[in-house]
Chain A
């Protein structure tokens, strides 16, 4: 296992792992949990769901919600981890897929670092195993010369491995997972051995179904996964809550100077995003064009965060419409021509007419 005895230095890290940030919550859950635990799980499935959705324990420990959304989705996800099918989190970018997968693994096996990042350049070695070539040349094939992949480590220790952006991995490399997921073993023919998975091993993969250039899963692989589709936040209140919570977290870890996270501006960003996404204004009266970008909640978060950075360093320390305008314009206009049209139309038709939005309108006009 990769050595991650990080806690002492966590404070300095830009983005500490979930199991470190929420170490106290995890420990509290673990100690108060008296329900049956699947083998090698840190806590019972019920406790995992509580960790994800938040709640108050018997001893008074408050568990913060990690995922805001339907309880049944998390229950299905956690229940899947307890079966021998792997979990596939599907959704458009920015619907907290990776976030959920990180917290799931942190809660189940206490380790969210067994991660394979899927790209078009991901090779079979990163899913199966590679070699330390210096050793291989010097000593010949031996267990010591073998470089385990995160998946292999997870199999040995009965932990959960994460695979991010599964559909970006080339199809032939994806299929290396089939043996792992169906036979639960990973043969190493060079050494004449196989690594058999210890109980508790499983895989969480994430994939987005809207991206260009994805490699569809083969049906053989697909049927090794249970699919949970994570939706965009259902209502505005939920989304505002997600954005403001995450913004607060991030500015803490980025050590931005204290800026009162103006809920009004956050609501504005969320409104703009939701309206452009759905192609109709919140009151349902006006149809508008939808830009090509996904305009996910994650992007709303980064717009607000960068706005706060702007106002802290260059502004008056208050989150102003001007601070978020540049971020919004950048997030919306992904295609310089089509999106520009959609955005200008939205500005002129919707934003301009809205009372209390005049400053924001002016700021956006200056930006674009």
Chain B
């Protein structure tokens, strides 16, 4: 912008309308003032590069609350929102101008610059690694709140800011609230009505307000730090825009901006050279802007917007009610209470109106405000019941209005992508719940499932796994339920900071977990990642996982991570995903576990040992799953030995039965190594012996049982050993004659006294079996001696059964 002292500012007239953001009173006064002033150009505070979007304000289908969304084109996670409600003065000013076909444009710092600054600050706050999307995005999200509340860009607040700074901040956000508070009002809108509207005799209140603001600005002093720089830039830009507008030959310019800025923009403007200097060399980045639907709830303080408007519903009412706002409001409250079956009669409403008016008189206010109305609601309509009052607050005072955006408005790219995918997959966004039964063997259904899983990762509540459950129907079936609610449009907007497509957004979410999560979270995410078919994110996740696993010194973490991985791998195979890397990671994990396990087992008390036993079982099962994998992937008809032969250790460096059984062998070897350690808790010792017996690696199982339960061992240790060895073994005892005879022999050999000693210990374990199980075991024991002859082994055609047996053997993971 050329800085020429010859700007003919004098010939043009500029009126500054310092308004209160989201203030219905301001909006009303503003419209009257605009009517009186008859400008030929209207400038509104808002990102200047959103000018092409300004025409949409008047379009059909635009229902406030809506917000301008600006995001960096190269990284959508850098974004900011500028929300407008129907009662926002800016919104009304734009509509007013559009209706009269006048020139109207935004005059604040372009989003291209604000977001560029944002980035600079973001990296200041965490200069660790600029390339880390997740970190950056995190920093940005905090900004939304601030922006949404005030449309004044806020600095990253330093902790421990002083009270003065807070006051300064408030002054910038809502300086009128400061004036109102000074006058003893808790509701700035009522102050506006009382002081401005009802006492100004129709004259425009804005000149007086600008003067008052000049005072406030002096009083508050300069804003500290980064904010000062930013504020200076914004005001400089606004002034430059005003100059440019005047130069373009406009004669009557109206500027609608936050009251705080009003004194800085009034004519005569300071020399342009200074502003030019302030603005020179500002960083810029490519920014995309669009309109998105917004909600009253998100305008409200209650959702964490600090100094935002606390009662958008009330403001909306003040704006829309043609007359008698108090009466109409209390009638609406009564109606909503009746909808909750609370008996409220018209007589109640009459009394509530009276009480509100009396209270206002008592407090010396010309009109009842929200606080008086709420008191009256509590005392008269709700009979002092706080729950009912809260209901009224949620439903009316804050309100649950959801805006909508005209169909033609360029949407958030994420939304567009989702709409496109939905169209392709023939999934409708409908409010009524609908069940989707997916068969993952069909390409179409699998695509749907992938989409649903990605949406779940994004936290979009539209689809969720339905009750009937995935597991009960086999791994190739999934059941989902979808029900669209309008709020999800906002969730989508929120999610859109993560990426422009569903896939990239979901990937970004996974990346965030990869960067921040614990080992367990990471492994859980692996499963999600596979289901959502995000191979690139999965690679990054696995890289992070490997690194974490290497650094994690706690073998317990590793043990907890492995089962998830093993399961994930299995799902991966069902979905025909390439799980090579995943397998490698699991193998490495097993090696690490095997290395660390012996140290983790010693000297555990009973509780810790119980936890460890659970982990031991889980890891054992997981390793079984890993070993069984190749067979499951191949057709059941191929016999196992054949599979082993076909496996080529060199091919792909993984996925071979050899390596799989390798981990299993390694695992069992470690267990065999620790089984005899004296510092092992009884539970663990019992469990390990049991695992080894099951795997046919111990020939002296019976002896070990006897030894563990003999005289020299103290009672508690015996009990826990039995527990470790036999618990969850009911079914095995019923069906495994070897195990049963082991137990039976031991009991039979006990002397009478010994038996009495041991009985309570054994009972503790076997008492936990279901009664039917116990009965079945007893039956077996009774039939016991003849067990060998009960097997009709001789009738089997082993040749015929061989393939089936081989497969079963592989699935069970035994080599017996």
Across the interface, which residues of B come within 8 angstroms of A82, CB to CB? 358, 362
Distance, CA A223 to CA B343, complexed state (A): 10
Q: Is B347 an interface residue (CB 8 A)?
A: yes
Contacting A228 at CB < 8 Å: which of B354, B379, B386?
Answer: B379
Contacting B375 at CB < 8 Å: which of A49, A72, A222, A223?
Answer: A72
Distance, CA A85 to CA B347, complexed state (A): 11
Q: Is B383 an interface residue (CB 8 A)?
A: yes
Across the interface, which residues of A come within 8 angstroms of B351, CB to CB? 83, 85, 226
Nearest to A81 among chain B residues (CB) is B358
Contacting A75 at CB < 8 Å: which of B343, B347, B362, B383?
Answer: B362
Interface size on A (CB < 8 Å)?
A: 21
Within 8 A of B (CB), among A76-108: 76, 78-80, 82-85, 90
Q: Is the CB of A229 within 8 A of B384?
A: yes
Q: Is A326 an interface residue (CB 8 A)?
A: no
Across the interface, which residues of B come within 8 angstroms of A219, CB to CB? 343
Distance, CA A99 to CA B382, complexed state (A): 24
Distance, CA A72 to CA B362, complexed state (A): 11
Across the interface, which residues of B come within 8 angstroms of A79, CB to CB? 355, 358-359, 361-362
A72-B371, A78-B362, A83-B358 given; A223·B348 CB < 8 A? yes
Q: Is B345 an interface residue (CB 8 A)?
A: yes
Across the interface, which residues of B come within 8 angstroms of A45, CB to CB? 358, 361-362
Q: Is A123 an interface residue (CB 8 A)?
A: no
Q: Is the CB of A80 within 8 A of B355?
A: yes
Across the interface, which residues of A come within 8 angstroms of B355, CB to CB? 76, 79-80, 83, 85, 226
Q: Is B489 an interface residue (CB 8 A)?
A: no
Most buried by A among B345, B362, B380: B362
Q: Is B199 an interface residue (CB 8 A)?
A: no
Q: Is the CB of B379 within 8 A of A227?
A: yes
Contacting A227 at CB < 8 Å: which of B343, B345, B364, B383?
Answer: B383
Nearest to A225 among chain B residues (CB) is B383
Chain A nearest CB from B131 CB (Å) reads: 43
Q: Interface of chain A, helix or strand or loop or mixed?
A: helix
Contacting B379 at CB < 8 Å: which of A46, A49, A76, A84?
Answer: A76
Interface residues on B, range: 20 to 34
Q: Interface of chain B, helix or strand or loop or mixed?
A: helix
Chain A nearest CB from B498 CB (Å) reads: 37
Within 8 A of A (CB), among B334-389: 343, 345, 347-348, 351, 354-355, 358-359, 361-364, 371, 375-376, 378-380, 382-384, 386
Distance, CA A223 to CA B362, complexed state (A): 23
**A interface footprint on B377-403 (CB within 8 Å = 1, 0 otherwise):** 011101110100000000000000000
Distance, CA A222 to CA B342, complexed state (A): 13
**B interface footprint on A166-189 (CB within 8 Å = 1, 0 otherwise):** 000000000000000000000000
Contacting B384 at CB < 8 Å: which of A78, A223, A227?
Answer: A227
A85-B355, A219-B343 given; A226·B362 CB < 8 A? no
A45-B362, A78-B362 given; A83·B384 CB < 8 A? no
Q: Is the CB of A80 within 8 A of B379?
A: yes
Q: Is the CB of B345 within 8 A of A223?
A: yes
Across the interface, which residues of A come within 8 angstroms of B383, CB to CB? 222, 227
Across the interface, which residues of B come within 8 angstroms of A49, CB to CB? 362
Q: Is the CB of A83 within 8 A of B343?
A: no
Distance, CA A353 to CA B362, complexed state (A): 50
Most buried by B among A49, A75, A219: A75
**B interface footprint on A220-249 (CB within 8 Å = 1, 0 otherwise):** 001100111100000000000000000000
Q: Is the CB of A90 within 8 A of B362?
A: no
Distance, CA A227 to CA B381, complexed state (A): 9
Distance, CA A80 to CA B383, complexed state (A): 13
Nearest to A71 among chain B residues (CB) is B363
Nearest to B380 among chain A residues (CB) is A226
Distance, CA A229 to CA B383, complexed state (A): 9
Across the interface, which residues of B come within 8 angstroms of A223, CB to CB? 345, 347-348
Across the interface, which residues of B come within 8 angstroms of A227, CB to CB? 378-380, 382-384
Distance, CA A90 to CA B375, complexed state (A): 15
**Other CB < 8 Å A-B pairs besides A227-B384, A228-B384, 15 of them?**
A75-B359, A75-B362, A75-B363, A76-B359, A76-B375, A76-B378, A79-B362, A85-B354, A85-B355, A223-B345, A223-B348, A226-B351, A227-B380, A228-B379, A229-B384
Show 20 A/B contacts (Cβ-Cβ < 8 Å), sorted by A: A46-B362, A46-B364, A72-B371, A72-B375, A75-B375, A76-B359, A76-B375, A76-B376, A79-B358, A79-B359, A80-B358, A80-B379, A83-B355, A84-B354, A85-B351, A85-B380, A226-B355, A226-B379, A227-B380, A227-B382
Interface residues of B (CB under 8 A from A): 343, 345, 347-348, 351, 354-355, 358-359, 361-364, 371, 375-376, 378-380, 382-384, 386
Interface residues of A (CB under 8 A from B): 45-46, 49, 72, 75-76, 78-80, 82-85, 90, 219, 222-223, 226-229
